[in-house]
């Protein structure tokens, strides 16, 4: 086992990280990605209402600034583990809207061949290591990947995404503890939208300032405004630099959620004032307004980008509609990475063991005279 590291000075802060000065081109790219995620998620919600998307569907509406800021800080060689609210991260990581939408539709051209759906996108080429339907299921796996990197002497880092409710499960604390002991190259990101499904953080967490939980493990941490993509980008770069130096990091992004927990959640637990506050905090509209005020984008450019992306997303939906459905015979093709002896491919309704031959079968086969 890797040896325990010596104690380090802990930096825990809620202050805004030093703002970098991205170029106008970089700012436009962040804006364009945020608009893509917004229009994609709106189209996904529509497709769900049309019964083209099955199962569960959780959207990144209101979290676009956090998504693009985090993903922009990563190197191509870094690994990303997501929870089930993952569409925007997949897009920002480079997965095409066509493949992402086809996966939502359960079609063979999807990023997981149609067998993953909304919660289980996976793409090894972009090192997007999947979404996980089990709350916190990704945390031990992400920590294990960081251990493998450390063991092999690699330079990559791991970013492990989760919601605020995940910080109350045992795997969260176990993983942070071992990452701190062994100095693993991992950044744990808590996207705090204030609600674990319908329960507020204050009602479920004795310490609602979630970044402070890192202090139990002498781990550096910070809280950042998740509505500002540049602030998130800066904070993520600091966190990743720390992780690559053998000092894992906990980053809490204070982000929003404009709709319910999933597309079928009407969010009746929110007051009208809370709904109005969520609309006012819209990161896509606010970032576009700031770029317009700074002269980075004109009103005509903003409208043009929106129109182009709306058309791209419509084309992605058409692509998904035209993609074939997977054959049932391929259901178990990706259960294991390599062949496993005696793996079961039994479908629902199939007998566990083959039925013994009946007497008349033996007669017809010439076995009984």
| Predicted pLDDT at 88 | 95
Q: Is the pTM of this model over 0.85?
A: yes
- Give me the phi and psi of 221, to 5 degrees please: -160, 165
Instruction: Give me the DSSP letters along 5-62.
Output: PPP----EE-SPPPP----HHHHHHHHHHHHHHHHHHHHHHHHHHTT-S-S-----TT
For residues 247-263, give the mean pLDDT. Answer: 91
Higher pLDDT, 335 or 301: 301
Alpha carbon distances (Å) from 157 to 94, 185, 221, 229, 278: 18, 5, 16, 21, 33
> Is the separation of the CB atoms in 213 and 201 below 8 Å?
no
pLDDT tens, position by position, 325-356 = 999 888 888 888 888 888 888 877 777 777 77
For 254-282, letters b (16+ CB in 10 Å) and e give bbbbbbbbbbeeeeeebeeeeeeebeebb
Q: Which two three-digit tokens encode residue 252?
A: 């809490």
Q: Could you tell me which of 259, 266, 300, 253 has the C-alpha nearest to residue 282?
A: 259
When pLDDT is averaged across residues 306-311 and rounded to a whole number, the result is 97
**In whole angstroms, what is the distance from residue 267 CA to residue 265 CA?**
5
Place of tokens 């970044």: 211
Q: Indicate whether 7 pLDDT > 60.
A: no
Percent pLDDT > 90 in the chain is 66
| Mean of all residue pLDDT scores within the chain | 89
Question: Measured between alpha carbons, how far is 226 from 238 in angstroms, rounded to an integer?
Answer: 15
95 versus 261: which is more confidently predicted? 95
Delimit the domains of the chain by residue range.
Answer: 28-326
189: which residues sit within 8 A by CB, 6+ positions away? 70, 159, 160, 161, 162, 236, 239, 251, 252, 253
Query: Each residue of 138-192: pLDDT tens digit?
Result: 999 999 999 999 999 999 999 999 999 899 999 999 999 999 999 999 999 999 9
d(CA 237, CA 74) in angstroms, rounded, equals: 8
Element (H, E) at 320: helix 299-322
DSSP string, 294-310: TTSS-HHHHHHHHHHHH
DSSP string, 156-206: --EEEEEEGGGGGSHHHHHHHHHHHHHT--EEEEEEE-SEETTEEHHHH-S
For the chain, what percent of residues have pLDDT higher than 70? 91
pLDDT at 199 over 90: no
Per CATH, is 28-326 categorized as 3.40.50.970? yes
């Amino acid at each position: 086992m890797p040896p325990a590291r010596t104690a380090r000075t802990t930096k825990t802060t809620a202050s805004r990280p030093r703002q970098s000065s991205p170029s106008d081109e970089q700012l436009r790219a962040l804006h364009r990605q945020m608009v893509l995620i917004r229009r994609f998620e709106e189209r996904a919600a529509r497709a769900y209402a049309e019964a083209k998307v099955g199962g569960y569907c959780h959207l990144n509406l209101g979290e676009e600034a956090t998504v693009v800021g985090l993903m922009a800080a990563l190197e191509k060689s870094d690994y990303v583990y997501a929870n089930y609210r993952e569409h925007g991260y997949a897009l920002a990581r480079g997965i095409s809207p066509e493949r992402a939408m086809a996966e939502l539709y359960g079609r063979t051209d999807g990023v997981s061949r149609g067998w993953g759906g909304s919660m289980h996108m996976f793409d090894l080429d972009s090192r997007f290591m999947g979404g996980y339907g089990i709350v916190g299921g990704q945390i031990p796996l992400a920590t294990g990947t960081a251990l493998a990197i450390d063991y092999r002497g690699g330079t990559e880092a791991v970013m492990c995404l989760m919601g605020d409710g995940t910080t109350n499960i045992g795997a969260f604390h176990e993983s942070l503890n071992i990452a701190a002991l062994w100095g693993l190259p991992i950044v744990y990101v808590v996207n705090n939208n204030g609600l674990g499904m319908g329960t507020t953080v204050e009602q479920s967490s004795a310490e609602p300032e979630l970044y402070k939980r890192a202090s139990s493990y002498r781990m550096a941490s910070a809280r950042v405004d998740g509505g500002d993509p540049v602030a998130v980008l800066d904070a993520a770069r600091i966190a990743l630099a720390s992780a690559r130096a053998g000092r894992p990091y906990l980053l809490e992004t204070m982000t929003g959620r404009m709709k319910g927990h999933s597309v079928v959640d009407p969010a009746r637990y929110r007051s009208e004032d809370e709904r109005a506050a969520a609309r006012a905090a819209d990161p896509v509209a606010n970032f576009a307004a700031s770029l317009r005020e700074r002269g980075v984008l004109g009103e005509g450019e903003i409208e043009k980008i929106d129109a182009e992306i709306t058309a791209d997303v419509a084309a992605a939906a058409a692509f998904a509609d035209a993609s074939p459905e997977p054959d049932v015979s391929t259901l178990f093709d990706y259960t294991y990475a390599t062949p496993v002896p005696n793996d079961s491919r039994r479908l629902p309704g199939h007998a566990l063991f083959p039925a013994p031959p009946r007497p008349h079968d033996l007669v017809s086969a010439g076995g009984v005279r």
